[in-house]
């Protein structure tokens, strides 16, 4: 494991990510728009306004749920 990396679980899959990311940066890392995703961190939904100031830490479980348009 890269010494500047942490292990987290994203949508049930173990991932190695750069240390020091916020949830907003995590979304950018995966190419996701915060306006089209619900973020759950350790089983709690995180408000969009808190994504920038909420850090991702080693051992965290993150769920990213995409909104799908249509009807």
In a domain, 71, yes or no: no
Could you tell me the residue range of the domain that residue 49 belongs to? 5-66
Helix-, strand-, coil-residue percentages of the chain, each rounded to 5? 20, 40, 40
In a domain, 48, yes or no: yes
CATH of the domain at 20: 3.10.20.30
pLDDT exceeds 70 at position 3: no
Kindly report the number of other CB atoms within 10 A of residue 25's CB atom. 16
Domains: count for the chain? 1
In a domain, 11, yes or no: yes
Q: Residues 13-54: pLDDT tens digits?
A: 999 999 999 999 999 999 999 999 999 999 999 999 999 999
In a domain, 25, yes or no: yes
- For residue 19, the model assigns a pLDDT of 95
């Amino acid at each position: 494991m890269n010494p500047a990396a942490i292990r987290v679980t994203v949508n049930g899959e173990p991932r190695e990510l750069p240390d020091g990311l916020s949830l907003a940066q995590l979304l950018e890392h995966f190419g996701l728009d915060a306006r089209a995703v619900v973020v759950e961190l350790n089983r709690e939904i995180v408000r969009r306004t808190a994504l920038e100031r909420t850090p991702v830490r080693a051992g965290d479980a993150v769920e990213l749920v995409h909104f799908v348009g249509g009807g």
